[in-house]
Amino acid sequence: MSAWIGLGGNNFDPYLIQAGTAAFQYWDPIHGYQPPVYRTFVENPGDSNDPGAHYFFNVSCNTHIYVRVDSPNCMFLLDIDTQVSTTNKCYGHDTSGLSGEALVERSRNTADYPYFARFNSVTFHGVAITDNGHYDAMYQVPHNQDQADLCTQYDQTGERCTGFDTTKPYATTGAIELDPNENPNDMYTVTWKYYGPNRT
């Protein structure tokens, strides 16, 4: 599972830059699944010479992270509490900059879900989009919100979901609201709801 923001990538646009956190679940043949490890990453998948993710410092529950992506190809993460950062990572193909994303992305291994942290509800504060040097509130720009539903059917590769149960979302995203205590002053809440087969 990963949570990230990005520029580009809309409608299968390949020129995407992204930065965020990814969860890893390790298997020990004696002890089974180990506690998940959450690690920061940056990625420029549109760059044919270096399309993979680059991983940096680990994070955990209650870690406060500042993340930004800048056109044409720069990514940055900062642990606000410890001031540890990735430094500014600028490399690879330029993003198209035609769209922006904030995603919670499922793991390809559905057996992982019961073992990931139960974040319950998490509110994201100080959310904004910078356009030509000034902040735009998220509600002021065209956007859509999608929820991740339980996958009930996969294609033959086992990776692409071809059927969903919309009554069992993995996570839901609340409305964008005014947050007067932050600048910029948008906030929204993601609520994690479903953790693997027969688990809520």
User: Are residue 118 and residue 200 in the same domain, yes or no?
Assistant: yes
Tell me if the pTM is above 0.75: no
Which one of 105, 134, 153 terminates a domain?
105
Asked if residue 197 has pLDDT above 50, the reply is no
pLDDT digits (tens, 9 = 90+) for 72-111: 999 999 999 999 999 999 999 998 877 888 776 766 555 5
User: Are residue 199 and residue 125 in the same domain, yes or no?
Assistant: yes
User: Are residue 80 and residue 126 in the same domain, yes or no?
Assistant: no
pLDDT-wise least confident of 12-16, 67-71, 87-91: 12-16
The boundaries of the domain holding residue 165 are 110-200
User: Are residue 118 and residue 180 in the same domain, yes or no?
Assistant: yes
User: Are residue 33 and residue 101 in the same domain, yes or no?
Assistant: yes
Asked if residue 198 has pLDDT above 50, the reply is no
Tally of domains within the chain: 2
Asked if residue 199 has pLDDT above 50, the reply is no
User: Are residue 76 and residue 121 in the same domain, yes or no?
Assistant: no
User: Are residue 122 and residue 148 in the same domain, yes or no?
Assistant: yes
Cα 122–Cα 62–Cα 115 angle in degrees, nearest 5: 75
| CA–CA distance, 66 with 14 (Å, rounded to integer) | 25
Q: What is the mean pLDDT of residues 31-56?
A: 88
User: Are residue 77 and residue 127 in the same domain, yes or no?
Assistant: no
| CA–CA distance, 43 with 92 (Å, rounded to integer) | 9
Three-state SS sequence of the chain: CEEEEEECCHHHCCCCEEEEEEEECCEECCCEECCCEEEEEEECCCCCCCCCEEEEEEECCCCCEEEEEECCCEEEEEECCCCCECCCEECCCCCCCCCEEEEEECCCCHHHHHHCCCCCEEEEECCEEEECCEEEEHHHCCCCCCCEEEEEEECCCCCCEEEEEEEEEEEEECCCEECCCCCCCEEEEEEECCCCCCCC
| Amino acid 183: pLDDT | 65
| Amino acid 200: pLDDT | 39
Q: Is 107 left (phi over 0), alpha (psi -120 to 50) or beta?
A: beta
pLDDT digits (tens, 9 = 90+) for 135-174: 777 767 777 776 667 777 777 776 667 787 777 777 778 8
Residue 18 sits in a domain of what CATH number?
A: 2.60.120.700
Token duo for residue 43: 């990625």
